[in-house]
């Protein structure tokens, strides 16, 4: 009798599985997806109900062959990729590859890689979930339709290698919108008051002005707006009596947070551990798949880490209760487990993220973990155990001090019983400073005014998004799903749409340009509500309440119209450019932002009569500032053309000499900086140019080649030009290339021409 074949997604899981299933099963791994849409074509037959064309992924042939060989004559195959939509797709595609007559396929959902979790899963196999697969495929098709049909528009109008994504573009828009709010923000003045008091006994203490004429002071409606008003208050308070008007105490029970869902794990890890979302998920995957625990062998330490559910198994809560009683005592232990309600749109396919056994305490297994693994496991373990501990009991004290129409307030909190906070202190508590100590105070007591301190402030704009706050924003708007947040944040940075400076996202110039083009041409796709509704549609497909084809037809009928309009009307930033309010410093005509192969720059609309171009920066309000081109007005030499002084200037491709007789004399000359620019004996390949090619280094140290007649001639290339005409297409020059396999060779730089020739030194 042949063994059943168990297939997982990751090879790392195999060690953990074999520990518990022994030799009863053959085990193999797909190492991620093995089939997908073709990378170089749309791969969607729109006319045939959006039929997807799946091919084996390049580089996966050996894995596929090994799976076929390992399956052998097995009649039963258990498919156990990750228990989410992507895992379901892997299961379906694996079944397609291994399908044969008489072979049965079963889906196995392993939520935790423990003996209990694995045994329960194998004892309760299921049919493949067609609805879940349809939801994954619908998302994949939507993303392909958007990405593969909008991205080419960006290549021709902005620059190559750009991409537009159904969800990533919305994330970029959120960041751009916030930046525009920040740039347009006008600070407003306001004042606050602190008063220092002495009582009958020490110590002295301070209180804040909180009410005037019974109205709370806030920055919007009842603020103290200026110095004049502030010092009127100072004068009125000089003769006032300060009497304790009210003392109140209130005891509250503070409940612990639920165990982690994916988004909250990412946010807490970012804020507490300074891990990125991507790093958090990578380490969580390692903890889920299993760690070698010495003699204990390989063991999965946490439940599945992609989840939006706060649900926990009753036995896990009971185990936590036993540990809490042993470790902290009866007072910290609940009489019955605490369970948490899920949000309305929760899929609830998996439990919350928790340790597979609370008895694997962080201290106990620390020796087997890397430093980063320990930090994240410690966070997950403490959050879960704390969720099953008693409430914290906190006493809130509030004291009101009256001075005529003015009320000063001072308050504080005292922890009467730490409860769960003994293990998991909330960030606000960790950050809070030591509260000031108060003297004995009684209602009606007169206080001695020691000092009144007015302080000027200015309102501040909303902060830029951090990784944590952007994830919170995406989640709050229903954009994306827990499994996608880390990849969204990575993609928008990798594509250059945003910069990540001092742990905050700032849109790049490229990000603004692409965002504005997409918003004007595809407002629906960039609308947060539309994107959120599409996520709900995918959930509905998985739940069986909506059909994939209905969703795709409705989406594409609208998208197709906008795509056709965009193909005709989308602004060409490469050619026409984006209008600015800046004037050319040479001829006075408007300057436009343009895109070249080396990035964005600002150029005169009077071209070719005026060839002025320059780099530019933006101030904190987003206003454009042309980079000053003059480096030194000291004469370097006489102009070869008219005899006037030549001075040094800075252009987009480096320093050059320019005639001070401009615009009558437009003679320029490249600066040959010793050790930086190196003359070659190669003539510039541009027609009607008599310059020679210089070898230069970019700001990042990369070698490139450009004409010494810059900026009169703007020829530039990353590859060394060769003064030889292409025998195939007639290009005026070829370029020199070198690879390990081919060595040195020459080829044509023109797109569409495949000429390659032998290199002759």
Last residue of a domain, one of 128, 154, 171: 128
231 and 213, same structural domain? yes
> In whole angstroms, what is the distance from residue 138 CA to residue 215 CA?
55
200 and 237, same structural domain? yes
Residue 68 has pLDDT above 80, yes or no: yes
Task: Please tell me the predicted confidence (pLDDT) of residue 695.
Answer: 83
**Omega before 711 cis (within 30°)?**
yes
Closest residue by Cα to residue 172 from 552, 575, 525: 525
Residue in the structure block whose two tokens are 């021409």: 753
714 and 596, same structural domain? yes
Last residue of a domain, one of 88, 103, 128: 128
DSSP 150: H
pLDDT band at 433 (very low <50, low <70, confident <90, very high): very low
Task: Please tell me the predicted confidence (pLDDT) of residue 706.
Answer: 87
DSSP 436: P
Residue 579 in any domain: the answer is no
SS3 at position 21: helix
Residue 103 has pLDDT above 50, yes or no: yes
| Whether 733 is catalytic | no
> In whole angstroms, what is the distance from residue 350 CA to residue 260 CA?
12
The listed range with the strongest mean pLDDT (77-81, 615-619, 646-650) is 77-81
Rg (CA), the chain: 34
pLDDT band at 552 (very low <50, low <70, confident <90, very high): very high
360 and 239, same structural domain? no
SS3 at position 590: strand
Residue 659 has pLDDT above 90, yes or no: no
543 and 565, same structural domain? yes
CATH of the domain at 543: 1.10.460.10
The answer to whether 551 and 535 are in contact (CB under 8 A) is no
pLDDT band at 35 (very low <50, low <70, confident <90, very high): very high
Question: Secondary structure of 608-651 in the HEC alphabet?
Answer: CCCCCEECEEECCCCCEEECCCEEEEEEEEECCCCCCEEEEEEE
What does 194-217 look like in DSSP terms, one character per residue?
EEEEE-SSSPPEEEEEEEETTEEP
The answer to whether 129 and 88 are in contact (CB under 8 A) is yes
Helix, strand, coil distribution of the chain in percent, nearest 5: 35, 25, 40
Length of the chain: 761
Distances (CA, A) of 98 to 7, 28, 74, 103, 629: 11, 13, 10, 9, 66
DSSP 542: H
Beta strands in 177-302 (DSSP E): 189-198, 205-212, 215-216, 242-254, 291-292, 298-299
Average pLDDT of span 20-37: 92
Domain range for 528 is: 141-185+467-569
628 and 641, same structural domain? yes
> In whole angstroms, what is the distance from residue 468 CA to residue 280 CA?
12
Could you read off the pLDDT of 516-539 as tens digits, one per residue?
999 999 999 899 999 999 999 999
Task: Please tell me the predicted confidence (pLDDT) of residue 576.
Answer: 82
Residue 583 in any domain: the answer is no
User: How many structural domains does the chain have?
Assistant: 6
φ/ψ (deg, to 5) at 192: -125, 160
The better pLDDT of the pair 243, 424 is held by 243
217 and 175, same structural domain? no
Question: Secondary structure of 744-756 in the HEC alphabet?
Answer: EEEECCCCCCCCE
Task: Say which of 25, 148, 304, 733 is annotated catalytic.
Answer: 304
754 and 643, same structural domain? no
Residue 737 has pLDDT above 70, yes or no: yes
> In whole angstroms, what is the distance from residue 150 CA to residue 594 CA?
20
CATH of the domain at 120: 3.40.50.140
The answer to whether 46 and 556 are in contact (CB under 8 A) is yes
Average pLDDT of span 549-577: 93
Quick one: 711 exposed, middle or buried, by C-beta within 10 A (0-12, 13-18, 19+)?
buried
Distances (CA, A) of 112 to 290, 300, 354, 515, 688: 10, 7, 10, 41, 71
Residue 373 has pLDDT above 50, yes or no: yes
> In whole angstroms, what is the distance from residue 677 CA to residue 716 CA?
13
Lowest mean pLDDT among 25-29, 58-62, 147-151, 665-669: 665-669
> In whole angstroms, what is the distance from residue 54 CA to residue 446 CA?
82
φ/ψ (deg, to 5) at 637: -165, 175
Average pLDDT of span 282-309: 91
601 and 746, same structural domain? no
> In whole angstroms, what is the distance from residue 283 CA to residue 275 CA?
10
Could you read off the pLDDT of 452-503 as tens digits, one per residue?
999 999 999 999 999 999 999 999 998 988 888 999 999 999 989 999 999 9
Residue 574 in any domain: the answer is no
The answer to whether 511 and 496 are in contact (CB under 8 A) is yes
409 and 482, same structural domain? no
Residue 581 in any domain: the answer is no
Last residue of a domain, one of 569, 596, 612: 569
Residue 135 in any domain: the answer is no
Residue 70 in any domain: the answer is yes
What six digits make up the tokens of 544? 């069986």
φ/ψ (deg, to 5) at 57: -65, 135
Task: Please tell me the predicted confidence (pLDDT) of residue 655.
Answer: 67
196 and 171, same structural domain? no
What six digits make up the tokens of 208? 């804040």
Quick one: 363 exposed, middle or buried, by C-beta within 10 A (0-12, 13-18, 19+)?
exposed
> In whole angstroms, what is the distance from residue 587 CA to residue 591 CA?
10
Chain centroid offset of residue 718 CA: 31
SS3 at position 34: coil
What six digits make up the tokens of 553? 């037809």
The answer to whether 119 and 111 are in contact (CB under 8 A) is no
List the 703-707 sheet strands across, edge first.
678-683, 692-697, 703-707, 716-717
Could you read off the pLDDT of 108-160 as tens digits, one per residue?
999 988 888 999 999 999 999 999 999 999 999 999 999 999 999 999 999 88
The answer to whether 226 and 190 are in contact (CB under 8 A) is no
The answer to whether 303 and 111 are in contact (CB under 8 A) is yes
Residue 578 in any domain: the answer is no
749 and 700, same structural domain? no
φ/ψ (deg, to 5) at 490: -70, -45
CA atoms within 13 A on the CB side of 39: 5
Task: Please tell me the predicted confidence (pLDDT) of residue 675.
Answer: 42
Average model confidence (pLDDT) across the chain: 89
Task: Please tell me the predicted confidence (pLDDT) of residue 629.
Answer: 55
pLDDT band at 671 (very low <50, low <70, confident <90, very high): low
Q: Which residues pair with 579 in a beta bridge?
A: 592
The answer to whether 98 and 68 are in contact (CB under 8 A) is yes
Residue 615 in any domain: the answer is yes
604: enclosing H helix or E strand: strand 599-604
479: enclosing H helix or E strand: none
CA atoms within 13 A on the CB side of 716: 15
**Omega before 663 cis (within 30°)?**
yes
Q: Which residues pair with 591 in a beta bridge?
A: 604
Question: Secondary structure of 514-536 in the HEC alphabet?
Answer: HHHHHHHHCCCCCCHHHHHHHHH
The answer to whether 649 and 657 are in contact (CB under 8 A) is yes
| β-strand pairing of 721-722 with 624-626 | unpaired
Task: Please tell me the predicted confidence (pLDDT) of residue 698.
Answer: 67
The answer to whether 195 and 451 are in contact (CB under 8 A) is yes
Could you read off the pLDDT of 202-234 as tens digits, one per residue?
999 999 999 999 999 987 778 999 999 999 999
């Amino acid at each position: 009798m042949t063994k059943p074949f168990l297939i997982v997604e990751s090879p790392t899981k195999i060690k953990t599985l074999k520990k518990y299933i022994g030799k009863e099963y053959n085990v193999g791994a797909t190492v991620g997806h093995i089939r997908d849409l073709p990378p170089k074509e749309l791969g969607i037959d729109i006319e045939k109900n959006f039929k997807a064309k799946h091919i084996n992924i390049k580089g996966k042939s050996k894995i596929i062959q090994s799976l076929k060989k390992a399956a052998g004559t097995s009649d039963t195959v258990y498919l156990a990729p990750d228990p989410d939509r992507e895992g379901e797709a892997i299961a379906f595609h694996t079944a397609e590859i291994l399908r044969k007559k008489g072979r049965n396929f079963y889906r196995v959902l392993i939520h935790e890689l423990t003996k209990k979790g694995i045994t329960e899963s194998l004892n309760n196999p299921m049919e493949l979930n067609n609805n879940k697969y349809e939801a994954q495929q619908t998302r994949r098709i939507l993303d392909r339709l958007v990405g593969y049909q909008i991205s080419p528009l960006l290549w021709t109008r902005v620059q190559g290698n750009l991409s537009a994504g159904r969800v990533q573009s919305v994330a970029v828009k959120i960041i751009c919108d916030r930046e525009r709010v920040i740039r347009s923000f006008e600070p407003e003045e306001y004042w606050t008051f602190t008063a220092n008091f002495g009582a009958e006994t020490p110590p002295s203490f301070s209180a804040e002005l909180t009410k005037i004429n019974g109205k709370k002071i806030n920055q919007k409606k009842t603020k103290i707006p200026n110095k004049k008003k502030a010092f009127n208050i100072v004068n009125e308070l000089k003769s006032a009596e300060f009497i304790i008007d009210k003392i109140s105490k209130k005891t509250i029970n503070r409940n612990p947070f639920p165990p982690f869902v994916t988004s909250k794990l990412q946010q807490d890890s970012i804020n507490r551990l300074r891990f990125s979302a991507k790093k958090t998920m990578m380490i969580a995957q390692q903890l889920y798949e299993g760690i070698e625990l010495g003699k204990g062998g390989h063991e999965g330490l946490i439940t599945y880490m992609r989840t939006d559910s706060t649900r926990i198994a009753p036995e896990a809560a009971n185990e936590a209760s036993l540990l809490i009683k042993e470790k902290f005592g009866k007072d910290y232990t609940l009489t019955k487990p605490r369970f948490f309600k899920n949000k309305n749109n929760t899929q609830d396919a998996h439990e919350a993220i928790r340790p597979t056994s609370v008895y694997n305490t962080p201290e106990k297994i620390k020796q087997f973990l890397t430093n980063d693994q320990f930090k994240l496991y410690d966070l997950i373990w403490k959050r879960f155990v704390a969720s099953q501990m008693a409430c914290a009991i906190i006493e809130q004290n509030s004291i009101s001090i009256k001075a005529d129409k003015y009320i000063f307030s001072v308050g504080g909190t005292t922890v009467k019983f730490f409860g769960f906070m003994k293990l998991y202190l909330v960030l606000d508590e960790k950050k809070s400073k030591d509260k000031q100590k108060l003297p004995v105070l009684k209602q009606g007591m007169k206080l001695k005014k020691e000092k009144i301190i007015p302080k000027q402030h200015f309102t501040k704009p909303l902060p830029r998004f951090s990784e944590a706050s952007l994830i919170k924003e995406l989640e709050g708007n229903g954009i994306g799903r827990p499994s996608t947040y880390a990849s969204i944040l990575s993609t928008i940075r990798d594509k250059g749409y945003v910069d990540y400076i001092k742990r905050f996202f700032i849109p790049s110039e490229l990000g603004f340009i692409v965002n504005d083009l997409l918003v004007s041409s595809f407002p629906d796709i960039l609308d947060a509500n539309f994107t959120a509704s599409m996520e709900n549609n995918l959930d509905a497909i998985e739940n069986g309440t909506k059909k994939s084809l209905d969703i795709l037809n409705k989406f594409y009928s609208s998208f197709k119209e906008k795509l056709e309009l965009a193909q005709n009307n989308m602004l060409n930033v490469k050619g026409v450019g984006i209008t600015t309010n800046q004037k050319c410093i040479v001829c006075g005509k408007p300057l436009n932002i343009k895109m070249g192969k080396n990035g964005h720059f600002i150029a005169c609309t009077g071209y070719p009569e005026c060839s002025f171009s320059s780099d530019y920066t933006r101030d904190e309000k987003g206003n454009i500032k042309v980079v000053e081109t003059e480096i030194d007005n000291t004469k370097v030499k006489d102009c070869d053309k008219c005899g006037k002084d030549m001075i040094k200037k800075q252009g987009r491709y480096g320093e050059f000499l320019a005639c001070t007789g401009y615009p009558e004399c437009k003679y320029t000359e490249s600066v040959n900086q010793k050790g930086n620019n190196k003359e070659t004996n190669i003539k510039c390949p541009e027609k009607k140019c008599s310059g020679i090619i210089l070898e230069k280094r970019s700001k990042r140290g990369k070698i490139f080649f450009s004409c010494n007649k810059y900026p009169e001639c703007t020829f530039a290339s990353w590859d060394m030009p060769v003064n030889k005409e292409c025998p195939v297409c007639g290009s005026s020059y070829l370029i020199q290339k070198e690879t390990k396999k081919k060595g040195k060779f020459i080829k044509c730089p023109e797109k569409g021409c495949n000429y390659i020739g032998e290199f002759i030194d």
